[in-house]
């Protein structure tokens, strides 16, 4: 097991990967008193140093240097998708819990290797996205669990837009294997689908690539052309173990930006705010023509990217399963790889893995309160 945090103290966190997303994590994690960021690492030491100085983190260095430190309990793996497995396995070997950005890995074998290594070492694995843990989707989750729309029957999800090559200064990795709209944006939707509706048993999909080569439109490399390695428009029909049937579109090929996540049940329709951590749920429970939707505000303390790290740290201390844990991440990856295989085979593909049921977060759960003293005291008394 990873070295325990000091008795009554916060869980000590190190970030590996000091790129664009690290700033979002560091901003959010600073507001959680149950966590303390003790180090930032990157293959480019100067980039790690810049992030550490920007956010007042006391230590910076290479990944190897940071993993050798005793004042790190949990590693946040913010490297590019192709490096997720290598970094996660190194952190696990060092006895650290690991939270990784999406996806868990690029393949089933490497993803399973991460989970098996963690189990053997006695450490926990968690995985983005953690938008599913925000007040927005959790409010929808509680409404669904309470039977607000009866028995779920179908679900429709849509994410389309022109693609990150229009705004990202280094978008090449978002069009490489392990990304594209399916593996970059898809995890937000598939993770929410599985959390709300349960595991997937089969998928049938088609894919299309509108442009074989794209051009960077912003930043210092504007005008640079690069190859597209994955489908940039994916359509999926999903069958869940519960019998729910879903239709999804993930696309970087549309000039129109549009998002939708709509669950239809035997007694109504639930519109889930999937695009972020906050936002209202919309509810329709009448079949009358032009019946009004009811807006249900998100209930819970606002949070941001990194709340999954906190929920994971609290779960580890309490001896419970993280809500965005490794088995859920493996199933989500398995579903998305099955989608890729369905596209390649032009045939339905069965999903062999499953995922544990995830209970909704109570509305009074507060990421901004200090709980580690209470958890430690309760553990000592049990």
Measured in degrees and rounded to the nearest 5, phi and psi for residue 348 equal -65, 150
278 in Cβ contact with 285 (< 8 Å): no
Mean pLDDT of all residues belonging to the chain: 93
Can you name the CATH fold of 11-130+305-327+355-381?
Answer: Rossmann fold (3.40.50)
SS3 content of the chain, % helix, strand, coil (to 5): 35, 25, 40
Given its phi and psi angles, is residue 95 left (phi above 0), alpha (psi -120 to 50 degrees) or beta? left
The 3-state DSSP class for residue 156 equals strand
Tell me the pLDDT tens digit for each residue of 311-336.
999 999 999 999 999 999 999 999 99
CA dist 211 → 51, 215, 253, 288 (Å): 35, 10, 8, 44
Q: What is the pLDDT of residues 155-185, one digit of tens each?
A: 999 999 999 999 999 999 999 987 899 998 9
Cα 146 off chain centre by: 25
Superfamily the domain 132-296 falls into: Dihydrodipicolinate Reductase; domain 2 (3.30.360.10)
pTM for the whole thing?
0.91
Residue 23's H or E segment, with its range, is: helix 20-29
Q: Break the chain into its structural domains and give their ranges.
A: 11-130+305-327+355-381, 132-296
Q: CA-CA distance, 365 to 283, in Å (whole number)? A: 23
pLDDT at residue 276, as a whole number: 81
Q: Which residues contact 248 (CB under 8 A, 6 or more apart)?
A: 156, 157, 158, 189, 234, 235, 236, 238
CATH topology of 11-130+305-327+355-381 equal to that of 132-296? Answer: no
């Amino acid at each position: 097991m990873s070295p325990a945090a000091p008795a009554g103290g916060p869980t000590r966190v190190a970030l590996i990967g000091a790129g664009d997303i690290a700033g979002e994590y560091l901003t959010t994690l600073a507001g959680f008193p149950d966590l303390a960021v003790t180090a930032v690492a990157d293959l480019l030491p100067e980039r790690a140093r810049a992030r550490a100085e920007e956010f007042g983190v006391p230590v910076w260095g290479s990944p190897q240097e940071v993993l050798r430190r005793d004042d790190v309990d949990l590693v946040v793996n913010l490297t590019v998708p192709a490096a997720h497995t290598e970094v996660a396995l190194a952190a696990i070997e060092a006895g650290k819990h690991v939270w990784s950005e999406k996806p868990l890995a690029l393949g089933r074998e490497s993803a399973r290797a991460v989970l098996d290594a963690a189990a053997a070492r006695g450490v926990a694995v968690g995985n983005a996205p953690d938008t599913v843990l925000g007040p927005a989707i959790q409010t929808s989750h509680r409404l669904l669990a309470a039977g607000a729309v009866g028995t779920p029957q179908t679900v429709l999800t849509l994410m389309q837009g022109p693609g990150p090559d229009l705004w990202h200064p280094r978008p090449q990795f978002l069009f490489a294997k392990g990304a594209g709209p399916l593996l970059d944006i898809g995890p937000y939707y598939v993770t929410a689908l599985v959390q709300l509706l349960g595991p997937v048993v089969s998928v049938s999909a088609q894919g299309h690539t509108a442009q074989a080569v794209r051009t960077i439109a912003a930043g210092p490399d504007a005008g640079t052309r690069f190859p597209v390695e994955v489908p940039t428009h994916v359509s999926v029909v999903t069958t869940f173990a519960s019998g729910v049937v879903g239709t999804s579109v993930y696309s970087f090929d549309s000039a129109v930006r549009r998002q939708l996540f709509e669950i239809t049940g035997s007694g109504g329709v639930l519109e889930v705010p999937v695009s972020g951590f906050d936002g209202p749920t919309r509810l329709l429970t009448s079949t009358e023509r032009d019946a009004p939707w009811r807006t249900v505000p998100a209930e819970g303390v606002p949070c941001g990217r990194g709340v999954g790290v906190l929920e994971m740290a609290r779960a580890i201390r309490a001896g419970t399963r993280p809500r965005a844990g490794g088995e859920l991440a493996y199933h989500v990856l398995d579903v998305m790889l099955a989608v890729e295989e369905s596209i390649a085979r032009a045939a339905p593909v069965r999903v062999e893995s499953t995922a544990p049921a995830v209970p909704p977060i109570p509305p009074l759960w507060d990421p901004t309160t200090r709980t580690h003293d209470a958890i430690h005291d309760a553990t000592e008394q049990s």
